Amino acid sequence: MSVLSLTSALKALQPFKQVNTVRVLSFSTTSLRRAEQPTPDRPQIGASSLFENVQVEAEEKLAQQDRKITEKEYQFSSGNFKTSPRKLNMLARQIRNLPVEEAIRQMEFSDKRSAKKILHNLAFARKNAADQKGMENMVVSQAWVGKGRYVRRVRAHGRGQFGVMHHKEAHIKFLFKEAAEKSTEKEDRRNIRGWNDPKKTWTPLKENKPIYNAKAFYNW
């Protein structure tokens, strides 16, 4: 076989070799890139899902509702008294956080004009709470005052002049709860000496009632 025939045969085979080499190189680079890329973290078996979180929240809400149902409450509202809310609030502060029997005793020996009406309302509310909800050992958890009618009348002055006088009315509301059982554990030494934790200056009332003629300062 001559030299020319061999060279022609090698030239004919050369493009096939280049194509094969290029294919091998491209395959090797793609495999290396895939190996370098980080694999995504897959969730393990037993991982928490959104459904489980929603289920836990629903169970907590049901447990809170059951606690509220077990806690017995009774709310009572009196009629309007012929007195101002400021004067009636002094008596409301006197009976807050007291047992119902002690609150009735305080109103029995009070010199205020509205004390006798509050006494009858407390006794009537205690009877209703015992008959309707079977409550015992009740405590006046909350006692707040609301404004009633605010009537204006003419006050005659001398020399044909006149002024305006106001006839104010107010009502009182109670919220009874059963007294919690006293724990037999020893109290904190700081509480025994009278260094109790400070109370909040104001707590929202049970009812969502708008406030009229609000003042820029505390009025208690």
* Alpha helix ranges (H) inside the chain: 3-36, 50-70, 85-95, 100-108, 115-133, 189-192
Q: pLDDT digits over 138-182, tens only?
A: 999 999 999 999 999 999 999 999 999 999 999 999 999 998 876
Q: CA–CA separation, 96 vs 157, rounded Å?
A: 42
Q: What is the pTM of this model?
A: 0.56
- Model pLDDT for residues 77-95, shown as the tens digit of each residue: 999 999 999 999 999 999 9
Write down the mean pLDDT value for the chain.
77
Phi, psi of 157 (to 5 degrees): -115, 175
Q: At what angle do helices 85-95 and 115-133 cross, to 10 degrees?
A: 50
Cross-sheet strand order for the sheet of 138-156: 73-77, 162-178, 138-156
- pLDDT of 185: 57
Tokens of 34: 């895939």
pLDDT, tens only, 86-143: 999 999 999 999 999 999 999 999 999 999 999 999 999 999 999 999 999 999 999 9
Neighbours of 104 (CB within 10 A): 19
Rg (CA), the chain: 42
Maximum pairwise Cα distance, the chain: 152
**Spans of all domains in the chain:** 71-180
Is the pLDDT assigned to residue 190 strictly greater than 60?
no
Taking the domain 71-180, which CATH number applies? 3.90.470.10
Look at the block and give the residue holding tokens 């194509």: 19
pLDDT at 17: 47
Q: What is the pLDDT of residue 197?
A: 59
CB 100 within 8 A of CB 138: yes
Residue 207 has pLDDT above 90, yes or no: no
